[in-house]
Amino acid sequence: MDFQIKRLILWSKEPQFKPKEIEFKTNSVNIITGASRTGKSAIIPIIDYCLASDSCYIPVNTIRNACSWFGIIIEVNQKQVLLARQEPGLQKSTDNMYIASDIEVEVPDTPIKNTNRDSVKKFLDELSSLTFLDIDAENSSNYLGRPSFRDLMAFCFQPQNIVANANTLFYKADTTEHRTKLINIFPYILGAVTPDILAKRQEINNLTRVLKRKEKELVKLKEVSEKWKSEVNGWLAIAQEFGLIKLNGLKDLSFEEQIEILTLVSEKRASDSSILNNNIEASSQEIVALRKEESELSLKLSSLKNRYTEMRQLMNSLDGYRESLTIQVERLNISKWLKSLTEDNETCPLFGKTKEHPKEQIDKFYTNLIKLEDETGFTNKIPAAFEREFDNVKSEISILSEQITAVQKRIKLQSQIRNSAAHEKYTVENISRFIGQVQYANETFKSLGTDSELILEIEAINETLSNLRAQVNESAVIQRVNSAINKIGAYAIRLLPLLDSERPNDPIRIDYQNLTVVVSGQDGRDDFLWEIGSGSNWLAYHISVTLAFHLFFNQQGHSPVPGFIVYDQPSQVYFPKKMAVRENEQELDPKLENDEDRIAVKKIFETMSEALKISQSKFQVIVLEHADSSIWGDIHNVNEVCEWRGDNNKLIPEEWIK
């Protein structure tokens, strides 16, 4: 994204002083050079703070005591935006912010809050055209939430503790929260996952939830249908007793055939009934048979219940016995130690070397301990045959319970009719009531038991899901990720030989799952960045890889990542002694005395200039450095922003400091 830093602005706490402005050049390498403790390393925290970071990492005391507001002017889409944020005082940060936008924005004498941090974050998200869809809509974790502008800062800053770090390649990736989120959004940042794919993923998740709900409904309907099967027989038996139908072998009919007959009964009238002696006898015999079947099932169920109770008691008592054995083993465990002492002819800690030493008693304790340990091992596991039998008993109880429930429903159904008053049992009125009940039952059953409509809905959802999954094509996403990583690796390999590296020609690969670099040696071994020694090597990989990312973002149609990167003192690895001494002995302006180190540092700026040349100067590099213009003065497209050396030549003017 064409998003670069135009100016950095500081407002003094003393109103008589004008704001201090630092001008940067877009599409160039910008260098702020100077001595130690002049404020160079505060530039990254100031820019980050103005871009709505959650906390303020601007150094305390001098800088924060002197400034009331911090601001930056960014150039984006051929216009300027001023973002300013108030100094937080005793707080970790403040949400008080100021925003202004114009073709050429004016800097106010003192900003006045007109927005807050959340609004600025939303503004920056929209500015970068970031999706508002979660990476994984099904997961509520923040790590899988929507990408934000703040996540993109990983590619824009290389502070001192990161720029030559063996274990961390990206800004703030040394914390679990930022690291995990960055890994999850990496495919999106690389353009392998588009907003359209995220939308389809979200639709897939929504449809999957609907599908699961409808499948549960279908299972429920099938369960209802199974329960109704036992009741249909009862309705048909009563209809036959009333002479509404004539059936031979009711049990031989399929369930579908029984439903069809029940539908016919519901269409009958009371006048269609024909009370016959044979039907009444058959009905009576059926109720007797049902009672007998109920009794037999009850007997079996009672027997299984007793068996289940006994097996459960055995398991509980076995647990208690095992616990008792364990306690005894623990109590006798000391006998092992005492026996080992007697075997080595050492002095017993209890009895010493005396003739009365109870060796036989200790041996007896030891023998009992071994027996208990063996018995504990024997009872430790329940035999597989016992577990199988226990499961079989539980399964049989479940089956018998369902069977007896079904029989009792049929008995209850027929009893309701037969228990009518004697003088109205076979009357037209009673038969009419029965037909009305059958009509209601038939309609209810059709509404519950007919699942063809639901099945069609489920089939339609599955078809839609298949089409969406084909469009998303996760394997194609992986291929696009690998293709992007290969392009970034190719850019890095092109830049790496320009730097001070021990392995300039070895292929490298970006391992985004671990957020590091993998270097492939000529012997075929892959080495992670942390497995390669020397700070100069770590620095070389950091610079080549981070520049390679910006080259990749630049060649994309639209990348949400801002087009700038800030390096803080990349040459620090070439000042080992100067950086390691105690602070009160440290030179304020360390110098490169070794010609080899001067050449190595110059390579850093030459590589940055080459990266801009490859991109046709379409992104911005800002470097905060000790090295002066004698190192990089003749390199193309390098712009000196400030040189903070000498009296009253720092980030904070001396007159601002009380």
Q: Could you report the per-residue pLDDT of 589-641, keeping only the tens digit for each?
A: 777 767 788 899 999 999 999 999 999 988 999 999 988 888 988 899 999 99
Q: For 390-431, how does the pLDDT look when each residue is reduced to its tens digit (9 = 90+)?
A: 777 777 887 777 777 777 776 766 665 555 544 456 666 776
pLDDT of residue 239: 74
CA distance 281 to 289: 12
> How many helices (H) and strands (E) in the chain?
18, 14
C-alpha pair distances (Å), 224 with each of 221, 262, 294, 552, 560: 5, 17, 22, 60, 54
pLDDT at 281: 62
Q: pLDDT-derived band of residue 44, with 50, 70 and 90 as boundaries?
A: very high
Q: Is residue 499 over pLDDT 60?
A: yes
Mean of all residue pLDDT scores within the chain: 80
pLDDT on residue 345: 55
Mean pLDDT of 148-163: 93
Q: Cβ of 389: how many Cβ atoms within 10 Å?
A: 13
Which whole number is the average pLDDT over 535-555? 93
State the amino acid at position 176 in one-letter form: T
The length of the chain is: 658
Higher pLDDT, 652 or 333: 652
* Percentage of the chain modeled with pLDDT above 70: 72
- Looking at residues 215-227, what average pLDDT do you find? 69
Percent with pLDDT over 90 in the chain? 34
Cα distances (angstroms) measured from residue 418 to each of 236, 240, 294, 422, 434:
14, 13, 18, 9, 11
The residue with greater pLDDT, 274 or 89, is 89
The tokens of 40 are what? 């160079």
Q: Are 162 and 542 in contact (CB under 8 A)?
A: yes
pLDDT of residue 218: 76
Q: Is there a contact between 9 and 72 (Cβ–Cβ < 8 Å)?
A: yes
pLDDT, tens only, 181-203? 888 888 888 988 877 787 787 78
Q: Which residue shows structure tokens 């960014």?
A: 74
User: In the predicted model, what is the mean pLDDT of residues 558-587?
Assistant: 73
Mean pLDDT of 534-554: 93
pLDDT of residue 60: 87
Rounded Cα distance, 448 and 454, in Å: 11
Our CA dihedral for 430, 434, 437, 439, rounded to 10 degrees, sits at -120
What are the backbone angles phi and psi of residue 589, rounded to the nearest 5°? -135, 80
Give per-residue pLDDT as tens, 266-302.
Answer: 777 766 666 666 666 666 666 777 778 778 888 888 8
- Say yes or no to pLDDT of 544 above 90: yes
Long-range contacts of 583-592 (CB under 8 A, 24+ apart): 586/36, 587/36, 588/35, 588/36, 588/37, 589/34, 589/35, 589/36, 589/626, 589/645, 590/36, 590/626, 592/627, 592/631
Confidence of residue 81 (pLDDT cuts 50, 70, 90): very high
Sheet containing strand 115-116, strands side by side: 20-23, 3-12, 67-76, 79-86, 96-102, 115-116
Alpha-carbon radius of gyration of the chain: 42
Q: Is the pLDDT of residue 9 over 50?
A: yes
pLDDT score of 112:
94
